[in-house]
Structure 1
Amino acid sequence: MRVLLLGADGYIGRRVADRLLLDQDLQVTVLGRRDSADIRFDLSAGSPGALARFLDAVAPQVVINCAGATYGTSRALIRANALAVATVCEAIRRSRQPARLVHVGSAAEYGPVQPGAPISETVEPRPVGPYGVSKLTGTELVTSSGLDAAVLRVFDVVGPGAPAASLFGRLAEGLRRALEQQENQVRMPDLSAFRDFVDVRDVALAVRAAAVSAATGVINIGSGHAVRSRDAAYLLVRASGFEGTLAEETRTVLLPAQPVGDLGGSERVPAEPRPLAEPVPWRQADVRTARERLGWRACTPLEESLGDVWLETACRV
């Protein structure tokens, strides 16, 4: 099967590329802005007609779009997460043999939901901020395109290669610095929100499963479990061996005395009433659609994912 991969230089895209290149049944061509790409093309600036000509030359049966932006101005996010998606959809429509499209979306498209329950694909999206709005716009463009297309709405990705600006990328670098400089405190934003953490390598497997399936529409990709961000942070701290304190925006948490709760500690710690800095305090994926239509489920334990984040950070020169 011929596959055209977009966004192979990003956090998810790199792992998707690694996974696809291991599959002898797939012939992978990478399109992107960097010199490492097989085809040089800027999705946010190029025309659908030009991209369609590349599609005709490669004749992919599947186009996988991992391209996009997580940070930046509203304009940059719209260009990367919406305009670029419109270009991809129109180019596929114009090509001689329209390919199947697998597009990577984001759980940020859902926005605030009722805490305590998993989020199904039928929940009405109410994104907060330009990132969620731009990703939802991209999803709407794909699902209304008339193409053979699936959108994988990916929840909170963790694992090796975590960007420095991400929650655990920032924490890992802070821990490394504290250990090197013999500091006893690492400062972090509020960690009270619950998130559905899924390993980036499992996400790559989900993308591969979607590429070879006939599933269409929006499909949640997550672990199916909600974990308090603070509990996840303790796992990373334990992996590092740091024995100091973690100072959050609203209070200081003493790490050695705090059990991990439902991640393997001896008991749960009652939540203290406090204002939430997070505009979205709860995210948990309903993953039944992924199991039923893709035959996929997350397999990597969160402790392993975060241990690998620390190993990569500690070994960085």
Structure 2
Amino acid sequence: VQVGCASEYGPSQPGSSTAEDAVPRPGGPYGVSKLAATELVLGSGLDAVVLRVFSPVGPGTPAGSPLGRLAEAMRRAMQAGDGELKLSGLGVQRDFVDVRDVARAVHAASLSAAQGVVNIGTGRAVRLRDAAAVLARVAGYAGALHELDSPPPRLPIGAPRTSAESVMEHLSATPSPYPDGCGVWQQADVRTARDRLGWRPRINLEESLADIWMEAACRI
């Protein structure tokens, strides 16, 4: 079982669901490298299946990922008593799937006769701004979330601390548009996973975000 990623597909049409027969057009180096690995596996003659995982979330989400940075920015805002949090890049929509569901998919694939490519996602794209609102709720953050079209320019190194610098600290810790080369929209067509693996996602986004928040809240 090769674990691939949705970055292999590249950008897709907003509102569409990407099926496994879509022509891969990765928009960044990570997607290109993962597609090369997929082609190597599928061309090897091995009894193999490639799981194209969409946007994994949940326990162990990297602190440097968009949702990880969002949780960290919220933790800092709560620690500082800030009544508002300024965020950028929240218009992108991604198909978030919990890592525990991904693990179940890997197990199911290892026991199945499936070959080729199988998408692993929920089949539902969620705006990052909506995920931010859910994260604020599970974190108990009562402040306002203000979305910025684009962050202001960085302050010079060594400049005295100002309220603007405080805002910049939050912005530097929050997501810019996803750097995965996939544009503003990705949503999986998950019918193959259902039909060939007998797999469906079980864990909802709120539970995944609660686990991300729990890990962020424990950081010093």
Give the TM-score normalised by the residue count of structure 2: 0.82
- Mapped to 1, the partners of 2:62 and 2:148 lie a distance apart of 21
Unaligned runs of 5+ in 2: 152-175
SS in 1 for 2:149: coil
Q: 1:116 to 1:122 in 2, by over 3 A?
A: same
- Mapped to 1, the partners of 2:35 and 2:150 lie a distance apart of 34
1:216 equivalenced with 2:115 (yes/no): yes
- Mapped to 2, the partners of 1:189 and 1:142 lie a distance apart of 38
**1:158-169 alignment, distance < 5 Å:** 158-169=57-68
Structure 1 vs Structure 2: percent identity of aligned residues?
59
- Mapped to 2, the partners of 1:202 and 1:242 lie a distance apart of 28
Pick aligned residue for 2:197 from 286, 291, 294: 294
Superposed displacement of residue 228, structure 1: 1.1
Q: Number of aligned pairs?
A: 193
**1:29-40 alignment, distance < 5 Å:** none
Post-superposition CA distance 1:35-87 (Å, at most 9, x none): xxxxxxxxxxxxxxxxxxxxxxxxxxxxxxxxxxxxxxxxxxxxxxxxxxxxx
Instruction: Identify the residue that residue 122 of structure 1 maps to in structure 2.
Output: 21
Unaligned runs of 5+ in 1: 1-101, 253-275
Question: Residue 295 of structure 1 aligns to which amino acid in structure 2?
Answer: G
- Mapped to 1, the partners of 2:216 and 2:141 lie a distance apart of 14
**1:125-164 alignment, distance < 5 Å:** 125-164=24-63
Superposed displacement of residue 312, structure 1: 2.4
**1:232-243 alignment, distance < 5 Å:** 232-243=131-142
2:88/2:150 contact within 8 Å kept: no
Instruction: Identify the residue that residue 197 of structure 1 maps to in structure 2.
Output: 96
Superposed displacement of residue 188, structure 1: 3.6
Pick aligned residue for 1:282 from 156, 179, 185: 185
1:304 equivalenced with 2:203 (yes/no): no
Compute the RMSD of aligned alpha carbons: 1.9
Instruction: Identify the residue that residue 266 of structure 1 maps to in structure 2.
Output: none
User: Which structure has the larger Rg over C-alpha atoms?
Assistant: 1
Q: 1:138 to 1:247 in 2, by over 3 A?
A: farther
